[in-house]
Structure 1
Amino acid sequence: MELLSLDNLFTLAMLTLLQAVLGFDNLLYISLESKRAPPHRQALVRRIGIGLAMVLRIGLLFLLINVIDMFKTPWFDLHWTGVVEGEFNFHSTVVLLGGAFIMYTATKEIWHMMQVQHLGQEDRKPKSVAGLIFWIVLMNLVFSFDSILSAIALTDVFAVMATSIFIGAALMVWLADGVADFLEKNRMYEV
């Protein structure tokens, strides 16, 4: 199959659109986390975090393509008729843990915003650049499972999938400063 075929180009466009839509939560998280760095390092934290996450996301894609059967094979079944029925596998565990972390982060941010309004000031200490980059990369990987699994479902051409991840990361770098500035000026949209 030719790499630049109309079919592959259409799939690339569709995957890039999916990367943009499904990656918006990543961009919000990156913007919020990077605000915890010293002000002059925030843009650097965003760019390094997105860049490292892109490289690791492509690596994760390669790994998942090679171990996709692990996602399909259930670890155990739940059969409580009328209440809960289903199967647990690796994918459902990742989604469950990712959702729990999102709930924790949102609750923590809402609590912090309520304290800031109550005290009338923000007293957060800046965090280390390396620590922030670590969390940005880790959460970007957790949040990216949906887009990676969508890519695997749409095509079997690795180059098309990797290119869409690269384009999605480039869009995130391009938009990250603007989103961070918007959230700084409009705190009500942070959570």
Structure 2
Amino acid sequence: MEWLSNPEIWISLVTLTILEIVLGIDNIIFISIMASKLPASKQKKARQLGLALAMITRVLLLLSLTWIMTLTSPLFNMGEWMALTDAELLKQFAISGRDLILIIGGLFLIYKSTSEIHDKLEGEEHHTDTKAVVTFSGVIVQILLLDIVFSLDSVITAVGMADHIEVMIAAVIIAVLVMMLSAGGISDFVNKHPTVKMLALSFLLLIGVSLLAEGFDQHIPKGYIYFAMAFSVLVEMLNLKMNKGKKPVHLHNLPEEK
């Protein structure tokens, strides 16, 4: 326990916790949007359970670091199927277990965000009652699947920034507890403002494309992605301030604000 008196450990804990919270924003957005499809009485429970599952998933992955490291080993090479001979090209087309998870997760996120945008803008409002066909367990399963993808990214970041497993686990737990406290406010704000909900869905679409690119070893610096998201949020906040008091546009399958 000597590491508790080491100031470098505490600095890495604070830094990693902040980073985990930032990386968890997309998780909160997805959970909030999925939970909003349930009756109001079950939404808080779905958010809390979803974030609890995210914490458990991340801790279990951290405790399985040896297995995590094996995910970076190539399983097969698509370049060989295309008869490529260039070594660099072959390296780019090598697919590992981590790549497969990111590709599948990215495709799922692109599909989910696109279908949600379509449903809210052009869905059959009077013929399809979304909340009647969406079950609590179905929402939790979808949240769990995306938790695995988001958690993998989070754990790989944690491994690269800290040397002690205790620090990594503590940072993950603290970050998830902070997200649990803020999830309700974020969810209410997103659901109250339809344009913000569309913006949140576009963020998920952007993150899905980023995961897909990452799966094919085309790294997009996260700084660019988060800057684009932050700038979009700033513009939307200005729009909301300018249009304060005006009745927001009504999206399909959402209760109209009185």
Given the two structures, how large is their TM-score scaled by the length of structure 1? 0.88
- 2:219 corresponds in structure 1 to none
- 1:51 corresponds in structure 2 to 52
* Residue correspondence of structure 1 range 54-93 to structure 2 within 5 A: 54-63=55-64, 65-79=65-79, 80=84, 81=86, 84-85=89-90, 86=92, 87-93=94-100
* Residue correspondence of structure 1 range 88-167 to structure 2 within 5 A: 88-116=95-123, 119=125, 123-126=129-132, 127-167=134-174
Q: Is structure 2 residue 170 aligned with structure 1 residue 169?
A: no
Deviation at 1:56, TM superposition (A): 2.2
Find the aligned partners of 1:72 and 1:25 in 2 and give their Cα distance: 24
CA pair 115-60 structure 1, distance change in 2 beyond 3 A: same
CA pair 121-186 structure 1, distance change in 2 beyond 3 A: farther
Runs of 5+ consecutive residues of structure 2 not aligned to the other structure: 202-258
CA pair 35-148 structure 1, distance change in 2 beyond 3 A: same
Deviation at 1:128, TM superposition (A): 2.3
Paired letter, 1:35? S
Deviation at 1:99, TM superposition (A): 0.9
- 1:28 corresponds in structure 2 to 29
Runs of 5+ consecutive residues of structure 1 not aligned to the other structure: none
Deviation at 1:120, TM superposition (A): 7.8
- 2:39 corresponds in structure 1 to 38
Find the aligned partners of 1:185 and 1:33 in 2 and give their Cα distance: 15
Find the aligned partners of 1:189 and 1:97 in 2 and give their Cα distance: 26
Find the aligned partners of 1:78 and 1:134 in 2 and give their Cα distance: 31
Find the aligned partners of 2:9 and 2:57 in 1 and give their Cα distance: 23
Find the aligned partners of 2:69 and 2:120 in 1 and give their Cα distance: 43
CA pair 120-129 structure 1, distance change in 2 beyond 3 A: closer
Given the two structures, how large is their TM-score scaled by the length of structure 2? 0.67
Deviation at 1:135, TM superposition (A): 2.0
- 1:11 corresponds in structure 2 to 12
CA displacement, residues 37-75 of structure 1 (integer Å, 9 cap, x when unaligned) = 111111111111211221122012211x12244133222
Greater relative contact order (CA < 8 Å, ≥ 6 in sequence): 1
SS at 1:75's partner residue? Answer: strand
Rg comparison, structure with higher value: 2
Q: Quote the RMSD (CA, aligned, Å).
A: 2.3
CA displacement, residues 84-113 of structure 1 (integer Å, 9 cap, x when unaligned) = 541211111111111111101111111102
